[in-house]
Chain A
Amino acid sequence: MYEGVVQNLIDELGLLPGVGPKSAQRIAFHLLSADPTDVKRLAHALLEVKEKVRFCRVCGNVAAEDDCRICRDARRDLHVICVVEESKDVVAIERTREFRGRYHVLGGAISPIDGIGPDDLRIRELMTRLADGQVTELILATDPNLEGEATATYLARLVKPMGVKVTRLASGLPVGGDLEYADEVTLGRAFEGRRLLDV
């Protein structure tokens, strides 16, 4: 245990995902010895992100305005929606330059054991987007692991009566992993070879 303010900082850092008590301590002492201007810049970035960044009211991606950069872009194809779990997956797919449609960010995957069911994700919002009949293809790009696959099957079953073509990224993405770790080439290939989901 350290003096009040230092321990506070360690405790706060320890709440971050992937940061254990040891890393929290290491980061705290790094900050203590860092240049004050660098630390101010970090503090400012933290506050700014909470003040300025919102979630796109259309797709749920992180956005600096009401709508995100991709939803505002008139050149993007309105007929195709790619469904992902998190905003970081949008970034991974954008890097491949294979996809010209729009996204829908669910905010996670169905995982009953963690208490996450369909109602806890942005699935109702997706159904609303599909309701006007403009979208002809829905690409399910949830993570190639168990929860991601279960979410894809659930969505495919839900969307089927709406007559929208539902596809899933081609295998080639080894199952078990997180989408964000796929390299651009593999992910790009998975897009090209996407298969029709039959439920």
Chain B
Amino acid sequence: MSLYRDEGVVLRTQKLGEADRIVTILTKRTGKVRAVAKGVRRTTSRFGARLEPFTHVDLQLHVGRSLDVVTQAETLRPYGEALIADYPRYTSGSAMLETADRLTVGEKEPALRQFLLLIGGLRTLVEGNHEARLVLDAYFLRSLAVAGYAPALESCARCSAQSVRAFAIVAGGVVCGACRPAGAAVPAAETLALMVALLRGDWPSADASESRHRTECSGLVAAYLQWHIEHGIRSLRHVERV
């Protein structure tokens, strides 16, 4: 019997048979793991809420033929408890989990940076010091960057010219006047500055931004994300801005 131990964040759960669930967990060392949690839907389950989405858990798993089986789970931090009390934060957190799931394509391929980014994103969301949608947009930009899709924000995505004036998703970010494809959006300079601040984690600048630039930024980031992730992020439709 082959056992291993890891910690991870529960990304999603699906019902399996009568009372079991398949849980998808982004772990620190192993990468994304899909495992069976037996009897977890019974109200007497020893797992309780430990294998619910958003929970950061310490796990012991048994390697199975197709799916591994969770044999032990201890809560490290129950992020879900804080998130469900606040609908905009809950929907933003859901969009983070879905993105983490979609950007880690292979199972059991180590994805330490995506794991750390997700933990950081959830923690920031729960702490509540910044607007939920800003936290989400920062997470989107950074997880795209880790996945190799960082948008060009400071020089032309095509020719590296320093004077940029439009944002073109197909080109991979901002573009100069000469490289600008037809139909590219022309966002405010403050919006592009906000995207840079979010990608770098410059919260003082991001928090000081105006709401119209935040809205424009969210629109561009969402469009950029949906372009890079096939079939898009379903949760995004339900994210509310307060």
Residues of A whose CB lies within 8 Å of any CB of B are 17-18, 20, 110-115, 117-118, 144-146, 149-150, 153-154, 157, 173-179, 181-183, 186, 199
Contact = CB atoms under 8 A, between A and B. Distances in A.
B98 A145 contact: no
A4 B97 CA distance: 42
Given A177-B43, A177-B45, A186-B43, A113 B94 contact: yes
B234 A114 contact: yes
B130 interface: no
Given A114-B234, A176-B40, A176-B43, 19 more contacts: A17-B15, A18-B16, A113-B12, A113-B53, A117-B238, A145-B49, A146-B49, A153-B86, A154-B87, A174-B49, A176-B50, A176-B51, A176-B52, A177-B41, A177-B45, A178-B19, A178-B42, A181-B41, A183-B43
B44 interface: yes
Interface residues of B, number: 37
22 contacts: A18-B15, A111-B94, A112-B94, A112-B238, A113-B97, A115-B234, A145-B49, A146-B49, A146-B80, A150-B83, A150-B84, A150-B90, A153-B90, A174-B43, A174-B48, A174-B49, A175-B48, A176-B47, A176-B49, A176-B51, A177-B45, A178-B41
B52 A115 contact: no
B98 A113 contact: yes
A181 B84 contact: no
User: Looking at chain A's contact residues, is the secondary structure mostly helix, strand, loop, or mixed?
Assistant: loop
Q: Which of B17, B80, B234, B238 is the most central at the interface, judged by chain A CB atoms within 10 Å of its CB?
A: B238
A150 B53 CA distance: 12
A179 B42 CA distance: 8
Nearest to B40: A176
B235 interface: yes
A111 B94 CA distance: 8
B154 to A, nearest CB: 33
B237 A153 contact: no
A176 B38 CA distance: 13
A144 to B, nearest CB: 7
B25 to A, nearest CB: 14
B95 interface: yes
A113 B234 contact: yes
